[in-house]
Chain A
Amino acid sequence: MIRTLAVAGLLLVASPGHGLGVRDMIGRDVALAGPPARIVSLVPSVTEIVFALGAEDRLVGVTDFCDYPPAARRKPRVGGMLAPSLEVITSLRPDLVVATTEGSREETVAQLQRLGIPVYLVAAHRLADVWDVIARLGALTGREAAAGHLVAGLRARVRAVEQAVAAGSRPRVLYVLWPEPLIVPGRESLVTELIGIAGGRSISASEGTDYPRFALEAAVARAPEVILLANHSASTGGIDRERWRGLTSVPAIRDGRLHAVNGDLLHRYGPRIVDGLEQLARAIHPEAFR
């Protein structure tokens, strides 16, 4: 972890006469006039991290989907992730926009750059990347120490989960990102890694890419022992459990191991991802948390 922070710190090297040069998470060089003081976040996870670091005074704009912490709702909004308003972003006079390779459109990034606004891209496919995002945002906002504490605390909680489930079996888990069409976490998904840490084996762990579509009968054939249904905010309402209850041949259904988990925790890579991990571990290994 200390190494991660040191690397992030090294990336903030002053280039002579031209303020700061930093490199973002996909290796793009981003030229900054100085330490960013007016940041627009186009990523809900980034918004959560900036608040968790206590750097929210530097956040001048967020997306419509930045709903956590509640105070984020009071920041000026720039529209959705797919088509944020260039006008609103420009009028907020940001010295840095943070976007993602997963959800922001490349056009948006290109348009902002054309307007002379530096764009920093983040992405997280592994838990280690989450620590990296936190460290990088800490370095960008001058909150390195807070980032260090935050990551250390989160990692300690991850270790506690690992220890709690270490002795147990590793049940087969079907994680349902979206029920219809059935979308599951694949090989490159952070959720797949989290299921492993929580003491389960995702039945879709070897599927291609990050979020593949998956045939229901393939899911049934792999006989999951636990089924986890992710819910998505309040906007999509409750989870339809009924359509799963009919699959009585599936061990998870037979044993009543159909659980809801909070997708907002598990699909974002903010500090709350560890809350999500703990929720996963409790669902997969209830016996370890009695």
Chain B
Amino acid sequence: MSPGARLVAVLGVLALVLLLVGAAALFVGSAALSPGAVLAALTGRTGARSIESVVTLSIRLPRIAVAALAGGALAVAGVAFQALTRNPLAEPSVLGVSGGAAFGVVIGQSVGLGFGVLGAAGLTAFAFAGAVVAAGAVYLVAGAGRLSVQTLLLAGVIVGLFFASAITVVISFVDVNRLGGVIHWLLGNLATIPPASLGLFALTAAAGLALVLPHARELNLLALGEEAAQQLGVDAERLKLQIFAGAALLTASVVAFAGPIGFVGLIVPHALRLLLGPDNRLLVPAAFVGGGIFLLAADTVARSIVAPAELSVGVITSFCGAPFFVWLLRTRYRALL
């Protein structure tokens, strides 16, 4: 099969799975609607203000969109950071980049940025600034230049811990009545967000994806080493800057809208590498769809397992991700450590 045909086939299959999981998620929820009622709402056979259509179209559908988008963004950010650092275990939360973005959002919230599309835009900007500072700090701590796998991970842990402490400093001054909300957000929660904010989220995620996707071939060359890539005509510095900006933007948009959700950028790219191999031209778009599938499935579990209460989706991804990380470390990447 030609690479192009393979890409189309893989994306087709993944899109089909995403569609199926998304459809299944529409039928799951604490409101206990019958499948017939959901179908009726979807086909417009119920009144616009009926319970069926409000729950299906105004509560479940936007949340499914947020989950798919956030999962895709995090998975692509994972692929990008892994290629950028040439470190298979790199990922926004492991590298402390999510922590930096979260600190940015907490600062934004404490200066009064709140709801509405303007507030969301402001929080995204703060998250992006935080992500850039954190990633820069990791780079400096690890010692610029050739980064060994261990040093980079350690630097990520240190930066992550630093920002976690910085967040606790800020939230000790948060009004006690808002504290619950801030902590709820810090656990990583997908919520039904208004259409305008959803549009903004989609735009920022698309911008991040646009910075990474066209350079997938060059990322393959970068895997050979920077010098080799330069000799093959890749402007390595420029490429790294673009990929870095893209990955930071993807991470920041998710953190601003859903909070720091960990390990998606680790689980999804690795699962896909096992299936598809290491070619980034295939991996980057596949990760976008695959990440959507994974986070959507995780969120559907999160919102139904303790209904009518809800678990934070970040809890589910961490419960999956932490053991997965250990498994990767003990089996596939033993030699790297």
Contacts of A240 in B (CB 8 A): none
Contacts of B310 in A (CB 8 A): 79, 83, 85
Query: Is B333 an interface residue when CB atoms closer than 8 A count as contact?
Result: no
Query: Is A2 an interface residue when CB atoms closer than 8 A count as contact?
Result: no
Contacts of A90 in B (CB 8 A): 31, 51, 54-55, 59
The residue from A85, A93, A105, A211 contacting B180, defined by CB atoms under 8 A apart = A105
Contacts of A64 in B (CB 8 A): 309
- Cα–Cα, bound, A187→B3 (Å): 69
Query: Is B318 an interface residue when CB atoms closer than 8 A count as contact?
Result: no
Query: Is B43 an interface residue when CB atoms closer than 8 A count as contact?
Result: no
Q: Which of B183-226 contact A (CB under 8 A)?
A: 184, 189, 191-192, 194
A78–B54 touching, CB < 8 Å: no
Query: Is A103 an interface residue when CB atoms closer than 8 A count as contact?
Result: yes
B59–A86 touching, CB < 8 Å: yes
Query: Is B274 an interface residue when CB atoms closer than 8 A count as contact?
Result: no
A88–B308 touching, CB < 8 Å: yes
Listed stretches A12-20, A107-115, A254-262, A269-277; interface member:
A107-115
Q: Taking beta carbons and an 8 Å cutoff, which residues of A are in contact with B? A: 64, 77-88, 90-91, 93, 101-103, 105-107, 110-111, 114-116, 209-211, 213
Main secondary structure of the interface of A (DSSP, over half): loop
B115–A110 touching, CB < 8 Å: yes
Contacts of B51 in A (CB 8 A): 90-91, 93
Query: Is B237 an interface residue when CB atoms closer than 8 A count as contact?
Result: no
Tally of A-B Cβ pairs under 8 angstroms: 78
Listed stretches B96-104, B151-159, B170-178, B323-331; interface member:
B170-178
B309–A115 touching, CB < 8 Å: no
Contacts of A213 in B (CB 8 A): 172
B309–A80 touching, CB < 8 Å: yes
Q: Given A87-B59, A116-B49, A103 and B31 touching (CB < 8 A)?
A: no
- Cα–Cα, bound, A173→B250 (Å): 52
Q: Given A88-B31, A114-B194, A213-B172, A83 and B307 touching (CB < 8 A)?
A: no
Contacts of A211 in B (CB 8 A): 176
Q: Which residue of B lies closest to A76 (CB)?
A: B308
- Cα–Cα, bound, A86→B33 (Å): 13
B308–A79 touching, CB < 8 Å: yes
Query: Is B86 an interface residue when CB atoms closer than 8 A count as contact?
Result: no
Listed from nearest, the 8 A-B pairs whose CB atoms lie closest are A87-B31, A85-B308, A91-B31, A105-B181, A88-B308, A79-B309, A79-B308, A85-B30
**How far, in Å, is B189 (CB) from chain A's closest CB?**
7
Interface 1/0s, chain B 46-74, versus A by CB < 8 A?
00010100110011100000000000000
Q: Which residue of B lies closest to A102 (CB)?
A: B177
A87–B29 touching, CB < 8 Å: yes
Contacts of A83 in B (CB 8 A): 184, 189, 309-310
**How far, in Å, is B321 (CB) from chain A's closest CB?**
22
Main secondary structure of the interface of B (DSSP, over half): loop
A107–B59 touching, CB < 8 Å: no
Contacts of A116 in B (CB 8 A): 49, 54
Supplied contacts A83-B309, A90-B59, 17 more A-B pairs, CB within 8 Å: A77-B308, A81-B180, A82-B181, A85-B30, A85-B303, A87-B60, A91-B31, A91-B32, A93-B51, A105-B181, A106-B115, A107-B115, A110-B115, A111-B191, A114-B194, A115-B58, A210-B177
- Cα–Cα, bound, A16→B73 (Å): 50
Provide 25 A-B residue pairs closer than 8 Å at the C-beta atoms, listed in order of the A residue: A78-B308, A82-B184, A83-B189, A83-B310, A85-B303, A85-B309, A85-B310, A86-B59, A87-B30, A87-B308, A88-B30, A88-B31, A88-B307, A101-B177, A103-B180, A105-B181, A106-B115, A107-B181, A111-B191, A114-B58, A114-B194, A115-B54, A209-B176, A210-B176, A213-B172
Query: Is B114 an interface residue when CB atoms closer than 8 A count as contact?
Result: yes
B114–A106 touching, CB < 8 Å: yes
- Cα–Cα, bound, A211→B172 (Å): 12
- Cα–Cα, bound, A84→B59 (Å): 13
- Cα–Cα, bound, A210→B51 (Å): 39
- Cα–Cα, bound, A110→B175 (Å): 19
- Cα–Cα, bound, A64→B30 (Å): 14
**How far, in Å, is A4 (CB) from chain B's closest CB?**
24
**How far, in Å, is A204 (CB) from chain B's closest CB?**
14
- Cα–Cα, bound, A111→B115 (Å): 11
Contacts of B33 in A (CB 8 A): 91
